[in-house]
Amino acid sequence: MTTDEENRPARRRITLTGISSRAWEHPADRGALTALRELRGFDDVVKAFFGMWNDRGFRLQYLAGSIRVDHRQYPRVFQRFAEAAATLDVAELPELYVTQSPMINGQAIGMDKPFIVITTAAVEKLDDEELRALLGHEIGHVRSGHAVYKTIMMILTRWAANVSWLPIGAIALRAIIAAMYEWWRKAELSADRAGLLAGQDPAASTRLLMKLAGGGDLSQIDTAAFLEQAAEYEGGGDLRDSIHKLGMTAWSSHPVPVARAAELRKWIDSGEYGRILGGDYPRRDSDGNASVTEDVKAAADSYRQSFNDSQDPLVGLLRKLGDGAADLAGSAARGARDWAAKGRRPDDEPPAPPAS
């Protein structure tokens, strides 16, 4: 007996030959990565420093308690994995494991030889297009080098728990972890774009995020309504909601699903996704020419644009305060010019009024 999914005609995907990970990396993510890559030997120092937590320990955990995917075990998953990798022009597949969990999830782990883990819920609840997008997302993490720094973050988080009794050390470590969480949230947006490029099905990428938010059954879920939630989350409520959102995200490695869906939609609407499918994208053979200055500037521009475009009440208040400060500065400057035009310095005393 065949299913509707098996009878569905295969979607033709464009192979993105030689594509660089820079094509899908969010500017804030890419700026941080380029700066780290510019530090010669940084990865080697990190790997040596964290050598006691090398790939062997992490890999053995999944080798012992999960299913390693290949053409014999979870062949459907393996086929979608191979398809996603081929579309992103990745010749050597990372190891892939399926681990028991009722939550749809995936992650890329490791330093020397990163591998990918997805959950049984992802296998059971995602259709082929959604699964391809998820696997492309994780391949994007590996290709961008995210797995190394995510592994470091996992280790640092454990350390933070162990040194919590040392106030100074814990505060310094928590500051580092908070900064890494902010970078990782941008790295997730990058990987969402990689997943979209791997599957080349915007509807499937949106459905994946909907299932991450609400489980596997979308029969009573509406895409337009889900995106309306994203708009309400971004701009609805008042300052109290803004404070709650800060608390929700500060120590989270992932943006919330509705925000991820909105960001992916913005990327599509910007035309960048279409340009890449049309062949206009950076190639791996030009990665050595990447400019740290340009990438850091692009990251700053991205944060500035997000600040200017945000509908969040707190951000809106900060913009108004900034505009007010600018108005005061402008008024002061105009006053100074007026005094100068009359031949006085701004701090001169005004003339005494005439006697009555």
By DSSP bridging, strand 106-109 and strand 115-119 are antiparallel
Instruction: Spell out a b/e string for 23-60, using b for 16 or more CB atoms within 10 Å of the CB, else e.
Output: bbbbbbbbbbbbebbeeeeebeebbeeeeebbbeebbe
List own/partner pairs for 289-297 with CB under 8 A and 24 or more apart. 290/22, 290/34, 290/37, 291/34, 292/34, 292/35, 292/38, 295/27, 295/30, 295/31, 295/34, 295/35, 296/31, 296/34, 296/35
Tell me whether residue 138 is one of the annotated catalytic residues: yes
User: Quick one: the chain helix, strand, coil %, rounded to 5?
Assistant: 65, 5, 30
User: Could you give phi then psi for residue 53, rounded to 5 degrees?
Assistant: -110, 40
For residue 148, what are the CA distances in angstroms to 33, 44, 53? Answer: 11, 11, 12
- Catalytic member of 138, 263, 294, 349: 138
Task: Cite the active site residues.
Answer: 138
